[in-house]
């Protein structure tokens, strides 16, 4: 009888471990340094495109450092200021229609620049009526954004800034009431599929992934992966960290096959800097978990292009460095 009891306990434990194994494989990934640490200042975001890296690295005057991977040279673009070609604060950045775009949170609009030389091209109208945290264009006339709202998950707006479509489907809706605290836990940047009418959003204080499909009349939630609910306290409807509050996804990127999510998993009260991680969760655009990658360095942001993954390494001893990893060696399928 006692033996039967222990066998039952062992079976339950094994089943529990199996359920927690979301990813079918875990892979180690090593890379190389680009030796840019002496040129970096306040480095927070990165976007790779063709043979260039566009890095948010504020030096006191310019927001963007552009590094040419072939010529091994860098230049600095986009000054801080209130002129049309300047920005007050840069959040999202990337490439659309062969143009560099930034989302200026200070001016609440998307601005376009020549991706080769940084010349200013145009600026969209101010987003209205919602203050927006992250935004990305999805075609030449429409963009999607993550608004500061306790009920609206994502909006679609036109080049004048006018909101056209709203989607209300937050992750973990059955477990959490609508609140600004839950919105704060769920907010994150947006990954746009390069060829299809899809985009994805992950969560910064939990483990959840949402994949949306869009057309010019609707935004529809296709897939939701609620893996680990956020832990927080709420005071006056605002987010309050407790001793269980864990950071989730710090940065996201994607290509035509996969979505790459940089994961922290650190409990905020137990570490000095929870906003770094060395695990990258890979999903396909159908929401299937593909692999968990582990790198030796602690990263704060990532970007994927041409089967290369670039990451901002954050280290107290020297500051920042840009790392390059070859994804072809993994043969992910």
Calculate the alpha carbon distances from 9 to 1, 2, 20, 129 in Å. 13, 11, 17, 56
Domain 26-329 has CATH 3.10.180.10: no
Task: Quote the percentage of the chain above a pLDDT of 90.
Answer: 85
- 283 pLDDT exceeds 50? yes
- CA 113, CA 78: separation in Å to the nearest integer? 9
Q: What is the pLDDT of residue 16?
A: 43
Q: Tell which residue, 274, 276, 273, 283, has the closest CA to residue 262.
A: 276
Mean pLDDT of the chain: 92
Q: What is the pTM of this model?
A: 0.92
- 7 pLDDT exceeds 90? no
Reported as a pLDDT band with limits 50, 70 and 90, residue 21 is: low
Q: Work out the average pLDDT over 242-255.
A: 96
pLDDT tens digits along 178-202? 788 999 899 999 999 999 999 999 9
Instruction: Estimate to the nearest angstrom the gap between the alpha carbon of 326 and the chain centroid.
Output: 20
**Is-contact 188 209, C-beta < 8 A?**
no
User: Domains of the chain: which residue ranges?
Assistant: 26-329
Calculate the alpha carbon distances from 181 to 88, 108, 266, 276 in Å. 26, 22, 19, 22
pLDDT tens digits along 133-160? 999 999 999 999 999 998 999 999 999 9
Q: Tell which residue, 272, 247, 291, 275, has the closest CA to residue 43.
A: 275
Residue corresponding to tokens 């602690």 = 298
Burial class from Cβ neighbours inside 10 Å (0-12, 13-18, 19+) for residue 118 reads middle
Between 122 and 2, residue with greater pLDDT:
122
pLDDT tens digits along 83-127? 999 999 999 999 999 999 999 999 999 999 999 999 999 999 999
């Amino acid at each position: 009888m006692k033996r039967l009891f222990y066998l039952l306990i062992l079976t339950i434990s094994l089943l529990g471990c199996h359920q927690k194994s979301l990813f079918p494989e875990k892979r180690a990934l090593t890379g190389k340094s680009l030796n840019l640490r002496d040129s970096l200042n306040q480095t927070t975001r990165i976007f790779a495109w063709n043979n260039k890296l566009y890095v948010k690295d504020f030096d006191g005057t310019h927001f963007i450092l552009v590094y040419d991977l072939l010529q091994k040279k860098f230049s600095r673009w986009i000054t801080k200021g209130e002129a049309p070609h300047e920005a007050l604060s840069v959040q999202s950045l990337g490439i659309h229609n062969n143009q560099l775009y930034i989302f200026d949170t200070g001016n609440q609009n998307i601005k376009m620049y020549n991706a080769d030389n940084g010349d200013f091209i145009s600026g969209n109208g101010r987003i209205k009526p919602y203050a927006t945290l992250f935004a990305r264009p999805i075609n030449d006339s429409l963009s999607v954004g993550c608004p500061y709202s306790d009920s609206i998950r994502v909006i679609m707006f036109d080049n004048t800034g006018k909101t056209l479509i709203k989607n209300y489907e937050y992750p973990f809706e059955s477990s959490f009431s609508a609140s600004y605290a839950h919105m704060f836990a769920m907010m994150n940047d947006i990954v746009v599929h390069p060829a299809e009418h899809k985009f994805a959003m992950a969560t910064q204080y939990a483990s959840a992934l949402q994949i949306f499909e869009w057309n010019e009349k609707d935004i529809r939630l296709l897939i939701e992966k609620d893996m680990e609910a956020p832990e927080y306290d709420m005071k006056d409807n605002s987010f309050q960290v407790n001793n269980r509050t864990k950071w989730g996804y710090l940065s996201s990127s994607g290509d035509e096959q996969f979505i790459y999510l940089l994961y922290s998993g650190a409990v905020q009260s137990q570490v000095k800097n929870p906003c770094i991680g060395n695990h990258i969760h890979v999903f396909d655009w159908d929401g299937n978990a593909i692999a968990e990658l582990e790198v030796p360095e602690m990263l704060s942001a990532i970007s994927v292009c041409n089967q290369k993954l670039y990451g901002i390494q954050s280290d107290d001893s020297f500051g920042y460095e840009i790392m390059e990893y070859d994804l072809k060696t993994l043969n992910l399928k």
